Amino acid sequence: MKRNILHCLVERGAHIKVFPAKTTYDELKVFQPDGYFISNGPGDPAPMDYAIHTVQQILADDRPLFGICLGHQLLALANGISTFKMHHGHRGLNHPVKNLITGKSEITTQNHGFGVDPESVKSNAQIEITHVNLNDHSIEGIRVKNKKAFSVQYHPEATPGPHDSRYLFDQFIDLMKS
């Protein structure tokens, strides 16, 4: 997990605790959090059954959830949406992403080699695409309809824009307050 993600949450008043990836949902609930953040991480998300199951349990309890990068892919997998290894991953900064809700574009930083399958998303009525990459039209953000759960593929804690995407942390805090 990138340290600046923690800073972005703390500067918004969040009291946080970081857990290892294989922590069970029952162990997480002992902390009594107002919401769950699923962080970035390495590798192929598909074999991470333990994490997919945890995300499914969070969703079943209807708890606020925000995922970044690997967390984005895990939210997709938890909803039956497949992921794939990209031919060329997205690396570095200055990747333009369009927020389909606001119509605004953001300059983002990215570091991933896996993506969310567009056809799987289109066939899932419970998922809404919220962000797309303007270079290759890959999916950069989703939200679960009728749940307090959303994710982005890129890194809003990074500063290429310089703060084009920091509003996502505000949205997460607002979900936990509502």
User: Which residues are tagged catalytic?
Assistant: 69, 155, 157
* 152/70 Cα distance (integer angstroms): 9
* 2/162 Cα distance (integer angstroms): 17
Residue 53 identity: H
In SS3 terms, 105-158 reads as: EEEEEEEEEEEECHHHHHCCCCEEEEEEECCCCCEEEEEECCCCEEEECCCCCC
Q: How far is CA 160 from the centre of its chain?
A: 18
Helical packing angle, 49-60 and 70-78, nearest 10° = 70
